[in-house]
Chains A and B, each alone.
Chain A
Amino acid sequence: MSDVLLDVAGLSVHHGQLCAVDDVSFSLRRGEILAMIGANGAGKSTLLRTIAGLHKPSSGLVSFDGADVAKLSPNRRVRLGISLVPEGRRLFSSMTLEENLQVGAYRARRGPFDIARVYELFEWMPGRRKQSVWQLSGGEQQAVAIGRALVANPKVLLLDELSLGLAPIVIERIYALVPEIVAQGVSILIVEQDVAQGVAVADRVHCLLEGRTSLVGTPADLTSEQIDHAYFGADLRHAVPKEEADE
């Protein structure tokens, strides 16, 4: 069994004329947490959605567990072990908390996670399982979205903008669960706009700028200047007024 679980090579994705992801390559090892950081519109979400099968790449390869998955539908990829927690939670709004998890579990792979295990992970859930999801707070909804993906027993969990619209304390609580999920043998690919959060939790960091890879490394090796530069692009230095730069 190869050490590499997910391998993306030369991937480009277009939205019409716009090139959202441009020749990006990276690989995710088993049990690893990789944070994909970058500014708004850098192509992070598109990259994640392409790996999940929601966008068709215009070129490049996506191989998972040694097999080419580029042509498979999103539901087939779930069966192979790729689960995406989409941006904005995207819960089934006419359903209760538990029904959302049941949908996730209906076509699930075998593995350590089931609804009972998710209820252990999020202790507040059992008492509110009959509630409609729209009655839950943003953080609680995010937890349900993670639970819905976990019950499918993914080998890799793709997390898209977990922190979006949530209070810092809530974000902290959700990220605190990441090690527990990894301990079950799940690899994680995180997309984050919140750089500090992404860097704190990840084994490796991959920075995107306007669809291209601008920086790769481990959090320990990277200085914050390097990350800022990769995040905002070289243009930032040019933006400094000339007089100040001369001083």
Chain B
Amino acid sequence: MIWLNVVVQGVLVGGFYALFACGLSLMFGVLKVINLAHGDMAVVAGYVAVFLTPHLHISEVWSFLVVVPIFGLLGYVVQRTLIQKSIDRDPFTTLLVTFGLSVVIENLLLEIYTANGQSVNIGTLISKSWHPASIIYVSYVSLGVLAVAVVVLGLLQLFLSRTGTGRLIRAVADDREAAQLSGANYRHVFGIAAAIAFATVALAGIAYGMMTQFAPTSGGVNLLFAFEAVVIGGIGSLWGTLIGGVALGVAQQFGAHFNPEYQILAGNLLFLVVLAIRPQGLFGRRTALS
């Protein structure tokens, strides 16, 4: 029963990792850009939800209704200006630019909001949980985040496979030049992909603020977990990202069960094992490497 609880807790946190990681996966798959400021965007979304949306007389719980669309728009604009400019120079520049963006964001947040931990206030919901068996507690918030992750990934999958715009995104990811020859304006398609990535990471940032506390520097460690989830699951596979997130979460919970210090170590070990045995990830296509 103890082990069942470990798995349950791992799956719950894995849902959050997947929600956090799907935008990173999309940006990498379509734009071939590793957005090192991805985690910081989530943190910014958290701060916006905590400090700015109350001015609009929206309670923090519902802040995502405003923050997510704004971040979608922001993603499109940042892509069409900053990131596209760096893609046009060379791929390495995108790493430098997004790393710089990350540093700027963290320090601006420290300057404005100090290093104090913040969280999104959801009232008494935070302490409520479902108690199906003697030692298994399923937090409603975590369960909600897992559900949101599954719904978001499902909608994204439908969008990519069933709509014209979604197919265009996949076409650009497969072969940018051939997509242009089929009439796609790849910069616009990049913008749409970045909009989705920013919107989903904003949702993840707010979810994080509901589950626990965040500070200006919380982005980095979450980016690392998101990156691991993407690599474990396989680049370019959304459900792979979910499985990757869950696998990472379960590994971390197993580690933590033996000793809290082993939590992150166990996750990193899983990541290394997958890289060594199946570098394309659990659900990745081998061709993605060539």
Binding site for B on A (CB under 8 A): 52-54, 73-75, 78-79, 83-84, 86, 90-95, 99, 102-104, 106-108, 148-149, 152
Contact = CB atoms under 8 A, between A and B. Distances in A.
A92 B174 contact: yes
Interface of B is mostly: helix
Contact of A94 (B178, B180, B285): B285
A148 B287 contact: no
Contact of B182 (A53, A94, A152): A152
B100 to A, nearest CB: 29
Contacts of B178: 86, 90-92
B170 interface: yes
B87 to A, nearest CB: 15
B180 A92 contact: no
Interface of B: 164, 167-168, 170-171, 173-175, 177-186, 236, 285, 287
B284 to A, nearest CB: 11
A95 B185 CA distance: 19
Nearest to B185: A75
Contacts of A103: 167-168, 171, 179, 182, 184
A90 B175 CA distance: 7
Contacts of B185: 73, 75
B175 A107 contact: no
Given A92-B171, A99-B167, A106-B167, A79 B183 contact: yes
A90 to B, nearest CB: 4
Contacts of B236: 94
A139 to B, nearest CB: 18
Contact of B181 (A93, A94, A102, A149): A149
Contacts of A102: 164, 167
> Which residue, of A74, A108, A148, has the highest number of chain B Cβ atoms within 10 A?
A74
A152 B184 CA distance: 11
Given A75-B184, A106-B164, A148-B182, A95 B170 contact: yes
Contacts of A52: 181
A104 B184 CA distance: 9
Nearest to B178: A90
A72 to B, nearest CB: 11
A210 to B, nearest CB: 25
Given A84-B181, A94-B236, A95-B167, 14 more contacts: A54-B180, A54-B181, A74-B181, A75-B183, A78-B182, A78-B183, A86-B177, A94-B170, A95-B171, A103-B182, A106-B184, A107-B182, A149-B181, A152-B183
Contact of A93 (B167, B174, B179, B186): B174
Contacts of A74: 177, 180-181
Nearest to A91: B178
A59 to B, nearest CB: 23
A217 B186 CA distance: 39
A104 B182 contact: yes
12 contacts: A52-B181, A74-B180, A79-B183, A90-B181, A95-B171, A99-B167, A103-B168, A103-B171, A104-B183, A107-B183, A152-B182, A152-B183
A104 B182 CA distance: 5
Contacts of B287: 93
B170 A90 contact: no
Nearest to A82: B181
A104 B56 CA distance: 44
Contacts of A149: 181-182
Contacts of B171: 92, 95, 103
Given A94-B173, A94-B236, A106-B164, A86 B180 contact: no
A95 B164 contact: no
A78 B170 contact: no
Contacts of A90: 175, 177-178, 181
A85 to B, nearest CB: 8
Nearest to A53: B180
Nearest to A101: B182
Contacts of A79: 183
B180 A75 contact: yes
Contacts of B170: 92, 94-95, 99
The residue in B170, B171, B175, B185 that gathers the most chain A C-beta atoms within 10 A of its C-beta is B171
A104 B167 CA distance: 10
Contacts of B183: 75, 78-79, 104, 106-108, 152
A96 to B, nearest CB: 10
A217 B183 CA distance: 33
Contacts of A94: 170, 173-174, 236, 285
A73 B167 contact: no
A62 B212 CA distance: 60
Nearest to A106: B164
A148 B186 CA distance: 17
A76 B167 CA distance: 19
